[in-house]
Amino acid sequence: MALLRRLQGANYRLLGLVGQGQFGQVYCAVHRRTGRLVALKNLNRDRLTTHRFLRELRFLLSLEHPNIANCSALEQSATGRQLVLDYCEGGTLRQLMEQATPLPLGEILALMAAILDALDHAHSQGIVHCDIKPENILLVIAPGAWRVKISDFGIARLSQELRGKDQSGATGSPAYMAPERFYHQHSASSDLYALGVILFELLTGDRPFTGTPSQLMVAHLNQPVAFPPHWPEALQGFLRKALQKLMARRYRTAGVMKAALEALRLTLTAAELATTYPLVYHQELPPVPFVPQRVYGLPTSDGLGAAPSPWSQMLVPSPTDPAVWWRVAGTDPVVQAWTVGAIQMEPAEPPWFLPAPVQALWGGQGRALAVTAEALFDLLPGGQVQRRVTFPAPVAVALSPGLQWAMGYSADDGHLWQAPLGKATPELRALPVPQLGTAAVELLALDDRHLLLAAKYPQRTDLHVISRRGPSLGKLTLHTAVQSLTLTRTPRRILAQETTDPSSLLIIDLLPFRVLRCRLDVPTPYLGELTIGYVACSDQGHLRFVNAQGQLIGRVDGLPCPAAIAVQFPHHIWLATAGDRREIHAIDIQDLGLDIIF
């Protein structure tokens, strides 16, 4: 804590710890004046000598490349020194591998080409990394993909130091070390061998050799690498050369290896480039067929007219169990509550008729509220509607969890309006808000004190955290467009669907800023949280379950096509059917037959 206080008093405000290493810690931080997000690498004085620190600083300052985590400044504190580096919110390549995320071969080769570009730049400056491994390859979220940055040049060597044997020890990671590294020899070719091991691991889900450090040494020196026979022959040939035991038989430089990679890509068919690896991941989690559990019909007459109104995409649990609130049409200004009966849902209250179509419903603290484009209404017993707040222009609205305040953003005048709901006659107050231009805006109440304003642009999403009193606490930029933002029970964590790749589920932590991308096999616009993790559902009735680490843990197919979904923690999903069928399915995930321990 003393260290945190000392670092907080400097030029940077810490947002949280994101990494811990042998020589210090890595923090997500924001520059107090410019608002720039950075990685602050704190190097403890008692663990890292001045000589080694100056070596790493020298290497970093001499490198400037889009695929290298560049150093922009140096800070000092009483306990150590801090390198200010590019921040990578997507984590490491190791974390991506542990998610068991299937990647198309074309995307894997593109990642390898970017890493080779970075190595070519470093080698041209006379710097050999000497510790290329998935933990040292950082990821930045980009539209539908990742950008890579190489980090941690702490044990790098200069080319002039490689002419003889280095007697400082075989430092590095034995699983990725070239044969000569075990004899204290280094070369640029050693980095390329390590990259070959990483490519093998991305394709198979495992490294070519495993075991203790001594067993790894014997394997790297003597054991040939076995390639799966179903791989394209050109891919096998590329890796066979990259993993040669003798340096002279490998690719001579990173540039030569990248050219060979591009030549390999040209030999592959579109189907081969689209094949996802590792193949074993797809065989371990077959989908479970859906068997209906409790299905409730709706009366043919709902009291709203002769013909039943169609569903909208809004289904909200009532604040008074066991009713379920639902809105009946995207253009009708009507809200109806239904109570769970024996075989069907029965109207619990007379319908509420509002002066305009309902955009959102909230239930909590024993109250139900409806939002139209310009007003907020209390839904009272007996079908009574009471106007609570009137906004000066059409707005996007968020309510705090305790229903203490409502906030609405108006694109027409660019204002953020706050209304305290605890007062009988709430008075609107304009709060300062950043200039958002033509962005589409979505609001989420993070808690009773903080609001998240998501400004959505075609190629990025700016996440502004705003206090209830108005000041902006900072902006986090996600370099991809998102939709379907959903709050979770974990503080400052949200879920989102990526616009450019609707089958990608993003798990976004705001403090510190981290983003996990989970690739699913179907687009899933409906998102929610259950006790086992997160649930996503497609328009075609496919359920996918993901844990907090971004790993796919369950698949269920064959549900009715949903028009609306409500997810009730810890185990239940309510699904309203689309089309002419007027049904609600009550689904307990414990009874779906998933291979999950509850």
DSSP secondary structure, 273-296, as one string: HH-EE-THHHHS-PPEEP---EEE
Burial pattern 432-466, b for ≥16 Cβ within 10 A else e, equals ebeebeebebbbebbeeebbbbbbbeeebbbbbbb
Token pair listed for 28: 């997500």
Phi-psi region of 383 (alpha: psi -120 to 50; beta: other; left: phi over 0): left
| Residue 8 CB partners (closer than 8 Å, separation 6+) | 14
Is residue 131 part of the annotated active site? The answer reads yes
* Cβ neighbours, 10 Å, residue 110: 18
Residue 212 CB-density burial (10 A; 0-12 exposed, 13-18 middle, 19+ buried): exposed
The CA-to-CA distance between both ends of the chain, in Å, stands at: 36
Active-site residue (options: 117, 120, 131, 332)? 131
Query: Which has the closest alpha carbon to 477: 460, 496, 452?
Result: 460
Interhelix angle 188-204/233-242, rounded to 10 degrees, is 140
Q: What is the signed CA dihedral for 10, 12, 13, 18, rounded to 10 degrees?
A: -120
| Residue 95 CB partners (closer than 8 Å, separation 6+) | 139, 516, 550
How many whole angstroms separate alpha carbon 217 and alpha carbon 175? Answer: 8
Burial pattern 13-42, b for ≥16 Cβ within 10 A else e, equals bbbeebbeeebbbbbbbbbeeeeebbbbbb
How many whole angstroms separate alpha carbon 473 and alpha carbon 482? Answer: 21
How many whole angstroms separate alpha carbon 598 and alpha carbon 585? Answer: 21
Query: Which has the closest alpha carbon to 318: 339, 342, 332?
Result: 339
SS3 246: coil
Burial pattern 545-571, b for ≥16 Cβ within 10 A else e, equals bbbeebbbbbbbbebbebbbbbbbeeb
Residue pair 430/442 in contact by the 8 Å Cβ criterion? no
- Residues assigned a catalytic role: 131
